[in-house]
Amino acid sequence: MLTNWVVMPTCLPLVLRRCHTCASDRFRADGRFRVNANHKLLDIWLLVLCTSCGETAKLTVLERTHVRSLRPELLDRLHANDPALAAELLQDPVVRRRNRIALDWNDAWRLDTGGSDHLDREVIDVSVRFAARIPVRPVRLIAEGFGLSRAEVERLVTEGKLVSIARLGSRLSGDFTFTLKH
């Protein structure tokens, strides 16, 4: 029987970028946008706040984009400061590369295992699905899902009782499955 786990974001991740005012390296995004019009061209930024001094920084989303090339629904979401749109844009590799930022997902996600009724079975097949591209080590997820220490999970891997096609020691942000044999 297959058990489904879901890795879900609980809030927006912190943005890793150097603050020009206080030399901090963490910014908090709350989903606010700035849309600036210059005739028929738009500049769009996602606003982030330094966690130390509160200084506002702008992450470029679009530059000098013709207003007619944007879908009206997207423009409405930008004007409404949609936090879901901010989450989508923070995960966009083009936006991250353009602004030279990384994301810190510590304490910004949770694992939903659907209950503990699967813990007493002899063989457990688990499918892990990511609701967002959150880079997490599978060993950490498995330890949290079964209430084990990471060392115990590593021991199960070396003994061959925990198997997966995915590499369990490195960070993953995509769906994977594993099997645990007691």
Phi, psi of 50 (to 5 degrees): -65, 135
The string of pLDDT tens digits covering residues 16-53 is 999 999 989 999 998 899 999 998 999 999 999 999 99
Q: What is the pLDDT, as a whole number, of residue 117?
A: 62
**What's the longest Cα–Cα distance across the chain?**
67
Rounded to the nearest 10 degrees, what angle do helices 150-159 and 138-146 cross at? Answer: 110
The string of pLDDT tens digits covering residues 133-169 is 899 999 999 999 888 899 999 999 999 999 999 888 8
